[in-house]
Each structure stands twice: as structure tokens, then as C-alpha cells.
Structure 1
Amino acid sequence: MKRKLGLVPKLIIAIIFGILIGQYAPLGLCSLIVTLSGIFSNFLKFVIPLMILAYVSMGIADLSQGAGKLLLFTVILAYGSTLIGGTISYLVSINLFPSFMSAEAMKQIQATASQSVASFFSISIPPMFDTLSAVVLAFIMGLCLSTMRGKEIGSTLYDAMKDFSGIIDRVLHKVIIPLLPLYILGTFVDMTRSGKTFAILSILWKVFIVVIIMHLCYLFVQFIVAGTISKKNPFTLMKNQIPGYTTALGTQSSAATIPVNLECAKHDGISEQIRNFVVPLCANIHMCGSMITITACATAVCLMNRIPISLSTVVPFIMTLGIAMVASPGAPGGSIMTALPFLYMIFGKEAGDPNGPICAIMVALYITQDSFGTACNVSGDNAIGVVVNEFYTRMIAKEKK
């Protein structure tokens, strides 16, 4: 049986080849790769607003189906967990990462900041509308579809949006995700040719380790809280979650991990009704691991590029992204693709350009640890499931009285 090479190995290979080509290849080849990467970057900029409209509107439209108080309680828990994860990630990163940033490396990065490889040509692909318009339209469409469908209007528009979401999903899986290695290759060719790569890589391996440790610590706290509320052994809950965690590491997809995660929830003693509701829902709205990774990477990039960053700029970004990532694609890199239009909230308008090199670095940083973020997301889903199950049990007991 032929084994398919996963996205993370492809990206690692792209980074290695990018460094080698940038270091040893002639300028013409470097310019060619940067040109192709730039064309893809413009295409990505065109697709991002469509992606937001498709996924966020359908995510909100589907969220309002069903369980009343239970839905609201689950959404509050998931959103709260995402916000807390991002905030803790920033506080840890801003206090720990500066010790990784040596003065020599910072000077080298600063000296090469304005240098880049010129492309042969570029193709302009203007987006149909800007990202903020896409977010507002997605919220209007999602909320109205969720409240009006089947009451004041039929299902025609809902079905059309669902089909549109399917088309964007196909574009993501068949074009954007397969071409991400080219995007990263071009970024590292440019960075290496201009001298940025080695200064940056000397810092970022430590960032990866810190992010993974934050994921595991956050999961530990989540299961301790869930075990305390439900009066279950948190270590047993964590042991039950191992198959879901390892599946997410391999698939890098919350959606693909749902069947395994449902079995983990069953072993946790979560009732069938609750686990069938919470696990698929949280696979789309609970992004604590992704938020921890994105916030840590954004903090590291700001420190490396001397971009001012503070809690007052990070918290609005986390709050916005916590909503925008609702139903982000169940594919590798889905969360960072959704985050790209909002990075200007931290980096500023110029540095936060989704087509720019700083955002490209963010994509590279995130994708190489996406599996761990996804594993943290889905494992946290079952911690939430344990709490929701306890809430439901108490609610039913109260109603019987």
C-alpha cells in the first residue's frame, strides 16, 4: 500500500529546500520560485474573504440548531476556554521569549529586514470584497439563516450557502493546501537569500518546545477542572483521551478525529445524547490549542521584528479570532488561514498584510506545529463534554424536583 506524505513533512521538506536553494542556487532560480510563490499569495488573498463567508456563515447557521440552554452553555465554555488559552499563551510568551532573542540575532534580523528577492512579475487578483466586509456579511447571513430558516423563509439560501461552502472546501483541499509548500518554499528562499533564515531559526526551535509544553499544561488544567466538577478521576479522563490525541496528531484534522473522540467520550462516561451533541460542535468552535499556537507565534514574530505588542492589542485579537475561527476548515492550517486577515490587529496594517513576508512566517510557524494544536483542541473538547454532561445531569435532576 502506497503511503501518502503528510502536509507537515512536505512543509519541512519545503523549508529545507528553501534554505538550500536560497543559500546555493543562482539568483534567477530564486526569483522564479519567489514569483510563483507571489502568484499563489495573491490567489490566497482572493480566496480568504470567500473562505470566511463560507465557513463562518455556515458555522453560525448550524450552531443555532437545537439544544437551547445546553447549546449556549457549551458555546460559552468553548469560547471562554479559547480566550483563556490565548491570553495565557501571550503572558507566558511575552515573559519567556525575550530570553530567547539574543542581541546579535535581533541585529541580524533587523539588518536584513528590508532585503528581499525581486520577482520577475506579479499578477494582481483583487478580492471581491475585503475581509472585514466578509466577516460582517458572514455574521449577518449566519444569524439570519439560523433564526429565519423554516419559519420566515425556506431552505433555498441555506442550501446554496452549504453548496458554496462545499466549493470553497474543495478549493482549500485541492489547491490551497497542496500549494502551501510552494508558498513556504518561496518564503524561505527569499529569507535565506536575504540572510534572515539562520538568525530566525536559531531562535524559533525554542518557541516550538514552549508552545507544545503550553498545550500539555493547558490540557492538564482542563481535565483537572472537568474531573473536579464531575467528581471523576482526571488522570483516568486523560488516559481515556490518548487515542483521540494521537489520532489528531496524525490526521491534523478535528473533523477526522470526531469518530475516535466520540469513543473517548463514551469511556469518560458522557451520555450518548450529550457526546453526540458536544463533540461535533466543539470540533468546530473550540480552538484553544490553535489559539495558544497563533498567539505564541504572533508574539515571537513581533519580538523578532521589533513590532510593539501588548495585552491591549492581543485581547481584542483573541476575542475576534475566537469568533472568526468558528467552523474553520477541518484541514491542516485552517485556523491560521482564518487568522491571516486579522493579524493586522497585532502587526499593524503594513506588516499585517496577508501577502507579506511576516504573515508568511506566521503560516510556516503555525503549520509546522498544527498537529499539536489540533490534538489540544480535540482533547479539550472532551473535557468540555464532561462538564456539559454534569451540567445536563444536574439540570434534569433539578427539573424532576
Structure 2
Amino acid sequence: MKKIRINLLGRIGLALVFGVISGLFFTDWAVRIFVTFNALFSQFLGFVIPLIILGLVSAAVGQMGRNAKNLLLITVVLAYGFTLFSGLLSYSTGAAIFPSLIDAGSAKALALGATPLTPYFTIEMPPLMSVMTALLLAFVLGLGMANIRSRALMEVAMDFEEIISKLITATIIPLLPIYIFSIFLNMTYEGKVFAIMLIFIKIIGVIFVLHILLLVLQYVIAGVVVKKNPFKLLWTMLPAYATALGTQSSAATIPVTLKQSRINGVSEEVSGFAIPLCATIHLSGSTLKIVACALALMMMQGIPHSFTLFLGFILMLGITMIAAPGVPGGAIMASLGILQSILGFGETDLALMIALYITMDSFGTACNVTGDGAIALIVDRLYKHKSQQSKVSKPEQMSEVSRFGE
């Protein structure tokens, strides 16, 4: 008998459905069991989040510094710029549209309901450092390793990165369905879940439309730079989009993204550098989703969500996204720290963010991967232009030498 394997999205979906159904008839003592699990898992997440940031960001920054400086700088600036653009697009669209989707009655429903249940017990798991300390230390170590080219320290950082990645894939990700089940069980018990889910469906629809708009804008910019039809370029990248929908991993889609970007005219030299790098540092689709979901949750609860607050969040999110491991749900796990530290999200908010994000994870990954092709096109054009300039300058230098000899 073959075992039936259900991917993470399927497990999260089942957990959400069973959590809602179970919340309709579970007794107080049964709900408190899962409330206790959530309290313990939340403490564990709080302990692990700084380690995730330190382990993944330091290794990513250190490895980036080893590559060709000019290509690296151009690619990183473009990836970060596109990521910031997607976050600002998400915020501005959400600020304009979400108030009409989140009515006052739905928002008030979150504040009403049964008295919240308390866990049977909790265990304090204080983190070794704050989120900001972990982020700063990660950049100091990463940039230091890149500058002094320390092989020994880099090997330690990469081993630590592997430990953190295995911790995410072997412990946190498998426990997420139980965590989501517990959250929706408790919300159903408190009478809040149906108001939230109605809003979620509307938000997901808006985010999907924004993904398509973002890709069109990225390829219009790339088309202008390389002087080609942007829609033809985007159409060529659709196999990469479709592959990412199935794999839910930018890293697993790299071979297809490489092939399609070369069909679009990107040189082997540039595509072999830019595509793997962008699979790590360019997460426009993920940033768009996280910003939209965070904004929606804050609106639902009546929490202030000023532009200045979100601008700081988006700027930091663009940096934090380079820490996202190439596993389903990796981006949201890497962003939990700044959701807590900058936006002040609590346990329930983080669980809702995880559920919302993973529900759309494959679409976000597909958007990231397809956008990598646009960045590769621009980098290739700038690289060729610079190469042509250097070739032109060399004959001029040679003629100066010959005149000097005469």
C-alpha cells in the first residue's frame, strides 16, 4: 500500500477546516489542551526566531560577498528595489481597498465572543537575544566573513544555517498544522472565526490580482530596458511560473527559470549568476502577500497602520527576506521576528499570518520566480552595455600609447 502524501498547503487546509468544525462541539477542557499546546509552541517560536535570523541571514550575506562585485551590486539593488516596490504597491492598494472589504461589523466580531480560555500551564523559553540584536549581529558577521574571506568562520556559519533549516523543516513546519488547528479551534469556540474567514477570502482575491499586476509592471520595466515586447517576455517565463506553482520552491524551479530566461535572450554568464542569486534574495511576491495580510489584520483589529510604520516595516522586510530558506513557508517564518518587533503582532496574529501566507504560498513563489527573469534581463542589458564601453575604451588607450611612442 502506498502512503498518501499531503503537502504543507493541504495539511494547513485540513487543519483549518477541522479546527473550525471541532470548535463547534469541543468542550472547554478539550479546547484548553490545544490552548496549552499553542502557549508552549509560541514560547518555542519566540526562542527560535532570533536564531533563524542569525543563522540564515549571516550565511546568506557572507555567500553573496564572494561573487563578482559588479554583477552582485546590480542584482542586489534591482532585487531589493523590486521588493520594496511590491511592498509599497501592496500597502497603497490595501489602504485604498481594504476598508471597503472590512466592514465595522466584521471588525467588531473579533472583539466579542466567549471568554478566552487559559492554558493549563506554560513554560518560559526566553530568547538568547532580541530580534534586532540578531539581525544586526547577522549583518556584522556576514559582511565580516565576506571582507576577510574567512573559510573557517564561513563553514561554521553554513553549518549553523543547515541546522536552522533542518529545525524549520523537521520541527516547526510539521507542527504548524497542529498550531493552525489549535488557533482556529479556539477562534471558533470564541465565535470569531466566521467573520475572519469571510474577510480572508476577499483579501486573497485582491492579493492574487496584485500578483498579476506586479508581474506585468516588472516586465514592462524590463521590456523598456532591453527594447523587447514585455508581454512576449512574460509569456516565455510561464513554464517557470507553472513549475513554481507545483514545487512551491524558488530553488527547485531554478533549472526551468534558467532555461526560459536564456530563451528570452539573457546570456549564460549573467543568467547563471543572477537566477540562482535572485532565487535567494528576490521575494517580491512574498513581500506583497505579507504586507497585505499584515495590513488587513491590523485593520480588522482597529490597530493604527500609518504609512511611516509600514514604510519602516517594508524596508526591514526587504532585508529579512534574504533569510527565507527555500522551503514552503520559509518567507513567513523569516519575517515573524519583524512582525513582532515592528508591528507588535501577538500569538494569534502570527498564526493567522502563517495560515494566510501558506494558503497562497505557491502563487507567491511563482511570482518571485517569474520576476527573477525580469531582473536577469535588466542585469544582462546593463552588463553588456558596460562590457561594450570597456571594449571601446581599450582601443582609445592603445591609440594614446601608440601616439606617445611616435
8 Å Cα contact 1:116/1:191 also seen in 2: no
CA distance in 1, matches of 2:341, 2:96: 21
1:326 aligns with 2:322: yes
CA distance in 1, matches of 2:151, 2:108: 58
8 Å Cα contact 2:71/2:383 also seen in 1: yes
Q: 2:274 aligns with which of 249, 272, 278?
A: 278
CA distance in 2, matches of 1:272, 1:27: 62
1:164 aligns with 2:179: no
Secondary structure at 1:255's aligned position in 2? coil
CA distance in 1, matches of 2:72, 2:376: 12
Give, in angstroms, the shift of residue 344 of structure 1. 3.7
Aligned letter for 1:121? F
Aligned counterpart, 2:181: 185
Describe the superposition over 1:8-29 as per-residue Cα deviations: whole angstroms up to 9, x where unpaired.
Answer: 1110100001111111112222
Give, in angstroms, the shift of residue 317 of structure 1. 0.5
Secondary structure at 1:212's aligned position in 2? helix
Unaligned runs of 5+ in 1: none
Matches within 5 A, 1:139-218: 139-149=139-149, 154-218=150-214
Q: Percent identity?
A: 42
Q: 1:370 aligns with which of 341, 361, 382?
A: 361
Aligned counterpart, 1:14: 15
Describe the superposition over 1:235-291 as per-residue Cα deviations: whole angstroms up to 9, x where unpaired.
Answer: 221121111111111121111111221111121111111011001111111111011
TM-score in terms of structure 2 length: 0.93
Secondary structure at 1:378's aligned position in 2? helix
Q: Which has the larger radius of gyration?
A: 2
Aligned letter for 1:99? S
CA distance in 2, matches of 1:250, 1:126: 38
CA distance in 1, matches of 2:300, 2:21: 23
Describe the superposition over 1:348-388 as per-residue Cα deviations: whole angstroms up to 9, x where unpaired.
Answer: 3xxx24xx212221111111111111111111011000111
Give, in angstroms, the shift of residue 100 of structure 1. 0.9
Give, in angstroms, the shift of residue 108 of structure 1. 1.4
Aligned letter for 2:138? A
Aligned letter for 1:207? I
Aligned counterpart, 2:32: 31
8 Å Cα contact 2:23/2:188 also seen in 1: yes
Aligned counterpart, 2:118: 118
Secondary structure at 2:322's aligned position in 1? coil
CA distance in 2, matches of 1:86, 1:115: 36
Aligned counterpart, 1:95: 96
Deviates more, 1:317-326 or 1:121-130: 121-130
CA distance in 2, matches of 1:141, 1:346: 23
Aligned letter for 1:85? S
Secondary structure at 1:330's aligned position in 2? coil
8 Å Cα contact 1:62/1:146 also seen in 2: yes
CA distance in 2, matches of 1:65, 1:29: 53
Give, in angstroms, the shift of residue 2 of structure 1. 4.9
Aligned counterpart, 2:386: 395
8 Å Cα contact 2:241/2:367 also seen in 1: yes
Q: 1:301 aligns with which of 288, 297, 312?
A: 297
8 Å Cα contact 1:21/1:30 also seen in 2: no
Aligned counterpart, 2:43: 42
Aligned letter for 1:156? A
Q: Structure 1 395/292 Cα, relative in aligned 2: closer, same or farther at 3 Å?
A: same
Give, in angstroms, the shift of residue 110 of structure 1. 2.3
Unaligned runs of 5+ in 2: 393-406
8 Å Cα contact 2:53/2:323 also seen in 1: no
Describe the superposition over 1:62-108 as per-residue Cα deviations: whole angstroms up to 9, x where unpaired.
Answer: 11112222211111100000001000100000110110112221221
Q: How many residues align?
A: 391
Aligned counterpart, 2:248: 252
Secondary structure at 2:125's aligned position in 1? coil
Aligned letter for 2:338? F
8 Å Cα contact 2:58/2:142 also seen in 1: yes
Cα-Cα RMSD: 1.4
Secondary structure at 1:124's aligned position in 2? coil
Aligned counterpart, 2:107: 106
1:291 aligns with 2:262: no
Secondary structure at 2:326's aligned position in 1? coil
Aligned counterpart, 1:315: 311
Aligned letter for 2:123? I
CA distance in 2, matches of 1:359, 1:174: 20
Aligned counterpart, 1:138: 138
CA distance in 1, matches of 2:95, 2:307: 10
1:243 aligns with 2:244: no
Aligned letter for 1:95? A
8 Å Cα contact 1:309/1:346 also seen in 2: no
Aligned counterpart, 2:350: 359
8 Å Cα contact 2:131/2:341 also seen in 1: no
Give, in angstroms, the shift of residue 315 of structure 1. 0.6
Aligned letter for 2:186? D
Aligned letter for 2:375? I
Aligned letter for 2:286? S
Describe the superposition over 1:192-225 as per-residue Cα deviations: whole angstroms up to 9, x where unpaired.
Answer: 1111101111211010010011011100111111
Q: Structure 1 325/251 Cα, relative in aligned 2: closer, same or farther at 3 Å?
A: same
Aligned letter for 1:218? L
Secondary structure at 2:251's aligned position in 1? helix
Aligned letter for 1:394? H
Aligned letter for 2:380? N
